[in-house]
Structure 1
Amino acid sequence: MSEPGTVALPVKHDGSVQAIAFSPDSTRFAGAGSDSLLRIRPIGIGVPLDVPVDGSVTGIAFSPDGTRIAVADFESVSLRDSKTGAVVWQGPLDPGNSVNTVRFAPDGRVIAVTDTLVAVLEQATGATIKRITVDPPLIADVDLSRDGTRIALAIDERHGGNHKFAGSARVLDLATGAELGKLTPANAVHAVAFSPDGTKVLCCSADDTTRMFKAQGGAEEWRVGGEANDEVTSPNCVAFDPKGNWTVVGGSDGFARVLEAESGTKKAQVPKLVAGGSDPGAVTHVAFSPNGKLAASACIDNVVRLFNLNSDELYAVGTEEVLTMAFSPNGRWLGVGCFNRALVIDNGEANQG
């Protein structure tokens, strides 16, 4: 039995790894990026698969049954057989705009997102079911509700058509395109995350605030940071505990903080302050394990940390700069994409499930 923090699977790439995904049964790991090759690897016994793609991959996702894998490949989206790599369908989504995100809804529909567009695609044929144009752009981050009926968007207007120091967090109904809720902080919104029941959305903004609001109507429930707080955390990434009790927020100040989902009260913080210690650098990615007992963070100090709700670190693994990060569905593995390689880190058998 390996120790937590052991690299169970290193996968070499020739370039940046910008997208990773685990199969629903947590037995396979996929990664892709700038080198135009999708790599699917077994975690343990199995046959590796290399699938050529056309451009720089920015998103991949396994279908709910694991038989298909969707790929966001420059301006196009493709659906492939996850065992052979054979193309089921492929085509451009929004010519002139790169596809940044691809997800599966629980019923198998494919959700693809560019800087300005949310598209719902039929899995069998790739036919467009719904196109939702977002104005003003830019869509900086997205999250899909667990039931697949709603999408939350982080909007950054600094990089949109108006170039304003403004932004919003929005919730859209995927069937109709209707806006269900909207929160407007004083600057760009960096990241969003749905609560497990889909009734709340967590977001963080360049105005130095982290806020919780109701998905329906947009009423703010709480905020931390901002002018009323002397602590400048510069939050830029967020995640919700799958059980709905906790949230984790990563800040440019170098710390990942676990907050109570009900109130925003701080429960834990990593890394721990050490007298004379070096600055860890900005936290770029955070995630919660499926059991809600552990969280992970990645910083520009090139360290990935796994920690519990008491601020205790289970491991700190050195990596290259992390570009993407995700837990496996069973919680046993943590996947990261870096420059020139992807890693699957073992969280330990005790943390599975």
Structure 2
Amino acid sequence: MSQPGTVALTVEHNGSVQAIAFSPDSTRFASGGGDSLVRVRSVGTGAPLDAPSEGSVTGIDFSPDGAAFAVADFEQVFLRSGSTGKVIWQGPLDPGNSVNTVRFGPNGTLVAATDTSVAVLDGSTGAVTRRIPVDTPLIAGLDLSRDGTRIALAIDERHGGNHRQAGSARVLALATGAEIGRLTPENAVFAVAFSPDASLVLCCAADDTVRMFEAEGGTQLWPAEDQDEDQDEGEDEGEDEGGGRRVTAVHCLAFDPKGRWTVVGGADGFARVLEAESGTERGRAPTLDPGLPDPQFGAVTHVAFAPNGKAAASASIDNVVRVFNVDGRERYTVSTDEVLAMKFSPDGRWLGVGCFDRALVIDNGEPGHG
């Protein structure tokens, strides 16, 4: 076994790589982006597989059994065989609008989204079983609950004729399309993440806040309303009494798969691990050396939690990927090109990143120790 932090696989591309995925058994890695091929590679030994794409690939996901993979390819969704790459079915989701996301639910149902709508598709046939239009869009991000029954949407309302500074985080029941919860910060919402049981949602917004709320009903749990008011009056960003829940221009976040921790990345270059129950900061990476001048770090653009919840990863515009414990202590760093996508393998052994002109699979240690 190579040392953690070693690049185990490099997949060359002719353009940006903004979509990556691991198979459920963590043995295959798929990547795609601005060039004309989706590349599937074995992490170890195995024949490579290339599948043509018609436009810019923005999303890839393997089916729960690993036998197929879905691709968001410009205006269409493709389902391809995992062994041959041949098309099983294909079709436009919403003609004239690009597909931005594809995600499989645990029962094989496929969820796909454009800027303005969400669709639920039959995974075996591609038939659209439900369309959910989004009023006052743009959909900036989404998360599908672990059980596949709910979807959380990050909505940016700064687009359109009125150009207002507004947004919301919304929770929908996929079976009906009905909205069951909504939180409305002071500005656009960039990202959302469900807790493992889908009872809570974490969101970050353009008003420099990170908030936790109840999925059903939308009640904000933290920060408390009086802490929101204190922040509006100009308290020190990132160090408020509520435990560091105000993070400068946060754009990315993730929930620990076990439900205890969250991680958020800010423009100040720090990834902060917050306790999910209270929002109290547990640690941050990178750590600073006491007595030395504070260095300048690039803004954090991506964060992810390892499957065992003991470590998290961040990528920043200073072209460094960091993997660290929940207390912020770094396990290893890897120098990369600018990261456009990042994801741990299901078993935690690998960390995949998409960059300009290549995708990388980084060795994260023995399976289950991620």
TM-score, length of structure 2 as denominator length:
0.93
- Give distance in 1, aligned partners of 2:164 and 2:352: 35
CA drift at 1:159: 2.7
Q: Deviations over 1:247-267 (max 9, x none)?
A: 000011111000000000000
Match of 1:105 in 2: 105
Q: Deviations over 1:132-176 (max 9, x none)?
A: 000111000000000001000000111345421110000001111
RMSD: 1.3
Out of 247, 258, 271, the residue aligned to residue 243 of structure 1 is 258
| Conserved? CA contact 2:254–2:264, under 8 Å | yes
Pairing of 1:90-129 with structure 2 (within 5 A): 90-129=90-129
CA drift at 1:34: 0.3
2:65 partner letter: D
1:164 aligns with 2:160: no
Match of 1:215 in 2: 215
SS at match of 2:313: strand
SS at match of 2:151: strand
Q: Deviations over 1:261-302 (max 9, x none)?
A: 000000010111243354111100000000000000000000
1:176 aligns with 2:191: no
Identity %: 70
SS at match of 1:235: coil
- Give distance in 2, aligned partners of 1:118 and 1:303: 34
Match of 1:49 in 2: 49
1:201 partner letter: V
SS at match of 2:158: helix
Q: Deviations over 1:13-62 (max 9, x none)?
A: 00000100000000000000000200000000101001111111000000
Match of 2:66 in 1: 66
| Conserved? CA contact 1:137–1:161, under 8 Å | no
CA drift at 1:350: 6.8
Q: Deviations over 1:88-146 (max 9, x none)?
A: 10111111111000000111011000000100000111111000000111000000000
- Give distance in 2, aligned partners of 1:212 and 1:259: 11
Match of 1:75 in 2: 75
1:231 partner letter: E
1:347 aligns with 2:352: no
Out of 224, 227, 230, the residue aligned to residue 232 of structure 2 is 227
Would you say how many aligned residue pairs link Structure 1 and Structure 2? 353
- Give distance in 1, aligned partners of 2:161 and 2:121: 27
Give the gaps of 5 or more residues in structure 1: none
Q: Deviations over 1:199-221 (max 9, x none)?
A: 00000011111000000000000
- Give distance in 2, aligned partners of 1:137 and 1:310: 37
Match of 1:253 in 2: 268
Out of 285, 298, 309, the residue aligned to residue 281 of structure 1 is 298
2:237 partner letter: E
Match of 1:264 in 2: 279
Match of 1:310 in 2: 327
- Structure having the larger proportion of residues in strand: 1
- Give distance in 1, aligned partners of 2:42 and 2:11: 11
- Give distance in 1, aligned partners of 2:162 and 2:104: 32
| Greater mean alpha carbon deviation, residues 153-162 or residues 310-319 | 153-162
- Give distance in 2, aligned partners of 1:5 and 1:24: 22
Distance 1:80 1:268, change over 3 A: same
| Conserved? CA contact 1:136–1:161, under 8 Å | no
- Give distance in 1, aligned partners of 2:369 and 2:273: 21
SS at match of 2:232: coil
Q: Deviations over 1:178-212 (max 9, x none)?
A: 00000000001010000000000000011111000
CA drift at 1:337: 0.2
- Give distance in 2, aligned partners of 1:351 and 1:4: 13
TM-score, length of structure 1 as denominator length:
0.98
| Conserved? CA contact 1:138–1:160, under 8 Å | no
SS at match of 1:124: coil
- Give distance in 1, aligned partners of 2:171 and 2:203: 11
SS at match of 2:213: strand
Give the gaps of 5 or more residues in structure 2: 239-247
Match of 2:242 in 1: none
SS at match of 1:71: strand
- Give distance in 2, aligned partners of 1:174 and 1:15: 35
Match of 2:308 in 1: 291
- Give distance in 2, aligned partners of 1:147 and 1:291: 18
| Conserved? CA contact 1:62–1:70, under 8 Å | yes
| Greater mean alpha carbon deviation, residues 217-226 or residues 97-106 | 217-226
| Conserved? CA contact 2:157–2:164, under 8 Å | yes
